[in-house]
A = this chain, B = another copy of it.
Amino acid sequence: MTSHQEQRFLCETEEEIMFYDTDCGGVVHNLAYLRMVEKCRTRLAASLGFELREMGETGLFPVVVRTEADYRKPARLADVLVVRGWLAEWGKARFWCEFEVYRGEELLLTARQALALVQMPEGKVQRLKPLENEGPV
């Protein structure tokens, strides 16, 4: 994980755990956390210039090419979680985002995702332009 001082384009989203997030083990299902990460990443991508509305129109999407997630502690119904996401690396063909999910001070999940820029519907991978705005540090 990137040290907190280097978290660029930091984005935070908040989630209240609903029934549909949980399973009969009594805790949040592993897929539900990734849906929450997805919302945070979409907001993060917007701060990098990938606006949802434009994507829908241009067909140029940041596409997840790798996901890593470590499940540390379970969340439960009614918990309020904060998802923190930031840009960790910006390369020529892909960029990496990192995420931490907290309940208060407790770290429940860490995750990393690599994304590539893809022109749909052809599915052609585009080169990334250099990042101009270095963003808030």
A39 to B60, CA, bound (A): 30
Quick one: given A30-B67, A67-B67, are A20 and B23 in contact (CB under 8 Å)? Answer: yes
What is the chain B residue whose CB lies nearest that of A79? B53
A112 to B109, CA, bound (A): 17
* Interface membership of A93, Cβ < 8 A: no
A64 to B59, CA, bound (A): 26
What is the chain B residue whose CB lies nearest that of A110? B66
Copies of this protein in the assembly total 4
Interface contact B38-A121, CB-CB below 8 Å = no
Interface contact A19-B34, CB-CB below 8 Å = no
Interface contact A27-B120, CB-CB below 8 Å = yes
* Interface membership of A31, Cβ < 8 A: yes
Interface contact B31-A38, CB-CB below 8 Å = yes
* Interface membership of A35, Cβ < 8 A: yes
Residues of B with C-beta under 8 A to A22 = 23-24
Residues of B with C-beta under 8 A to A20 = 23, 29, 31, 35, 38
Interface residues of A (CB under 8 A from B): 16-20, 22-27, 29-31, 34-35, 38-39, 42, 51-53, 55-56, 59, 61, 63-71, 73-74, 76-78, 120-121, 123
Can you offer 7 A-B residue contacts whose CB atoms are under 8 A?
A: A16-B39, A16-B52, A25-B61, A30-B64, A63-B71, A66-B68, A67-B69
